[in-house]
Amino acid sequence: MKKHNFNAGPSVLPREVIEKTAQAVLDFQGEGLSILEISHRAKYFQPVVDEAIALFKELLNIPEGYSVIFLGGGASLQFCMVPFNLLEKKAAYLNTGVWAKKALKEAKGFGEVVEVASSADANYTFIPKNFTIPADADYFHITTNNTIYGTEILKDLDSPVPLVADMSSDIFSRPVDVSKYGMIYGGAQKNLAPAGVTFVIIKNDLLGKVSRYIPTMLNYQTHINDSSMFNTPPVLPIYAALQTLKWLKENGGLKEMEKKNIAKANLLYNAIDNSKMFVGTANKEDRSRMNICFVMKEEYKALEDDFLKFAVSKGMVGIKGHRSVGGFRASCYNALPIESVQALVDCMAEFEKQNAK
C-alpha cells in the first residue's frame, strides 16, 4: 500500500533526496568512504557546505550583507541564541503559538521583553493584527508558521526594528523578501532536511552590539568567521539539505513551490469547508498552507478515533493532531505530492459517506 506522509516533522522529503543521501551513506562521491565517516575538514566535504550556502542565497535571493550558517541544537537553541546575541535592552515578540511562547520565555532571561500581541486567549486560532512594535526594541520576533494550530503569516511584515523570524516549517515554501528581515532561522526537519541541522540567515551588521559576554559556541560571529566549521557540523543533514536545495532549483524554485502549495492547501481546505463532518480550526484569513488542522463537528466527535483508524488503513500517515489540541493535522510540505492530498480528500469523503447522518 502506498503511504501518504503527513507527518509534521521530521517529515516528508523528496524521494530523490532520500536516495542520493542513502547512496552517500554507502559511498560518498566514489571515495570509498561513507559520508558518516569522512572528516568534515576533508577537501571533498567543504564544497558541500559552500554549495548549500550558495543555493540558499540564490533560491531566497538573499542580498549582500547577510551570512548563512548551519548549526546544531534545533530552533529551540535559537530561542536563547537570538537574545544572547541581539538583546541589549528590549525585545518585542508576537505570541502566536507554543513555539512563539517558548521563544518569548527564553528571551526574558536576557532583558526586557514586550509581548506586542497574543492570540492565546483564542487558543491561537488567528494571527493578531494592528499591533504596535516598540520603536526602541532591539528586534521584533515572529514565528511565521504555527505547526500545532495551523496558522501562518504569509506576508513579509514591515517593522521599524530588525525583524527576526522562526521559519522552521515554511522556509522555501514561498518567495521571501529577505531584505525585510534582520534574521531568519529554523530547524531543517520540515521542508529542508532530516533532523539535526539548523539554518540561520543573519544580517551581519546586527552583530557585535550587545555588551554581555557571549560564550564562543553561542556567538553567531564564531560560526560566520569559520563558515559553519568552527566545530564538527551535522554532516549528513547538511548533505541532505544540499540535495533538497538542488531539487528545489530543478523544480522551478520558490514561485513554483508556492503555486503547488496553494493548490494543495485549496484542495484540502475546500474539502473541509464543504464537509458535513469535518471543520477547520484556524481563522480562514490566517490558515496555514503547511499544516492544515481540522476536527470533527460536535455531533461527530465520537467518531474521531474511528476516522483515524480508517485513514491509517488507507495509507495516511501522521494526520493525528498535536496532543495539545487533538483532532487532525495534515502537514503539506513542499515534498508532499498533490496526489497524497487528493488521497486524503477521497479518504475523508468515503468515511463521511459511510458515517454521516
248 vs 245: CA distance, rounded Å:
5
In the block, cell 520565555 appears at 105
Give the active site residue among 166, 170, 203, 286: 166
Three-class secondary structure assignment of the chain: CCCEECCCCCCCCCHHHHHHHHHHHHCCCCCCCCCCCCCCCCCCCHHHHHHHHHHHHHHCCCCCCEEEEEECCHHHHHHHHHHHHHCCCEEEEEECCHHHHHHHHHHCCCCEEEEEEECHHHCCCCCCCCCCCCCCCCCEEEECEECCCCEECCCCCCCCCCEEEECCCCCCCCCCCHHHCCEEEEECCCCCCCCCCEEEEEEHHHCCCCCCCCCHHHCHHHHHHCCCCCCCCCHHHHHHHHHHHHHHHHCCHHHHHHHHHHHHHHHHHHHHHCCCCEEECCCHHHECCCEEEEEECHHHHHHHHHHHHHHHHCCEECCECCCCCCCEEEECCCCCCHHHHHHHHHHHHHHHHHHCC
287 vs 281: CA distance, rounded Å:
9
- Annotated catalytic, 260? no
Give the active site residue among 138, 170, 190, 320: 190
Give the active site residue among 20, 99, 138, 203: 99
- Annotated catalytic, 166? yes
Question: Between β-strands 291-296 and 328-331, what pairing exists: parallel, antiparallel or unpaired?
Answer: antiparallel
Residue 139 and residue 92 in contact, taking contact as beta carbons nearer than 8 Å = yes
Nearest to 67 by CA among 79, 85, 83: 85
163 vs 112: CA distance, rounded Å:
17
In the block, cell 505530492 appears at 337
- Annotated catalytic, 320? no
**Enzyme catalytic residues:** 99, 166, 190
